[in-house]
Amino acid sequence: MSHSEAKTRLYLDVDGAINADEPPFPEVKSTRVQIEYGGGMMSRMPLTWAPEVVAELDALRDEFDVELVWLSTWNEMHASMTSLAPALGGLFGGRAIMDIDAVSSDIGRGWWKAQSIIADQENSPAPFVWVDDEAVMAHGEMVSEATAGTPSLTLTTVYEHGIERLHLAQMRSFLVAQTAAPIAVS
Residue 120 CA to its chain's centroid (Å):
14
In this prediction, residue 142 carries a pLDDT of 94
Provide the whole-model pTM.
0.90
Distances (CA, A) of 76 to 7, 26, 88, 182: 25, 31, 17, 40
> What is the pLDDT, as a whole number, of residue 105?
54
Q: Where are the domains of the chain?
A: 9-176
Q: Among 152-156, 158-162, 178-182, where is mean pLDDT lowest?
A: 178-182
Backbone angles phi and psi of 49, in degrees to 5 = -150, 165
CATH number for region 9-176:
3.40.50
Question: What is the band of 75 on the pLDDT scale with cuts at 50, 70, 90?
Answer: confident
Rounded CA-CA distance 135/158 in Å is 12
19-57 pLDDT, tens digit each = 999 999 999 999 999 888 788 888 889 999 999 999 999
49 with 28: CB under 8 angstroms? Answer: yes
Q: What percent of the chain has pLDDT over 70?
A: 88
Judged against a pLDDT cut of 50, whether residue 2 lies above it is answered with no
Res 103: pLDDT: 52
Residues 65-95 as b or e (16 or more Cβ within 10 Å = b): ebbbbbbbbbbebebbbebbbebbebbeebe
Work out the number of other CB atoms within 10 angstroms of the CB of residue 56.
19
pLDDT digits (tens, 9 = 90+) for 93-151: 999 987 656 555 555 567 889 999 999 999 999 999 999 999 999 999 999 999 999 99
Among residues 173, 174, 129, the alpha carbon closest in space to that of 155 is found at 129
* Cα angle for residues 20, 13, 76 (degrees, 5° grid): 105
**Structure confidence by residue, pLDDT tens digits, 81-101:** 889 999 999 999 999 987 656
Q: Is 131 helix (H, G, I), strand (E, B) or coil?
A: strand
Average confidence score pLDDT of the chain = 89
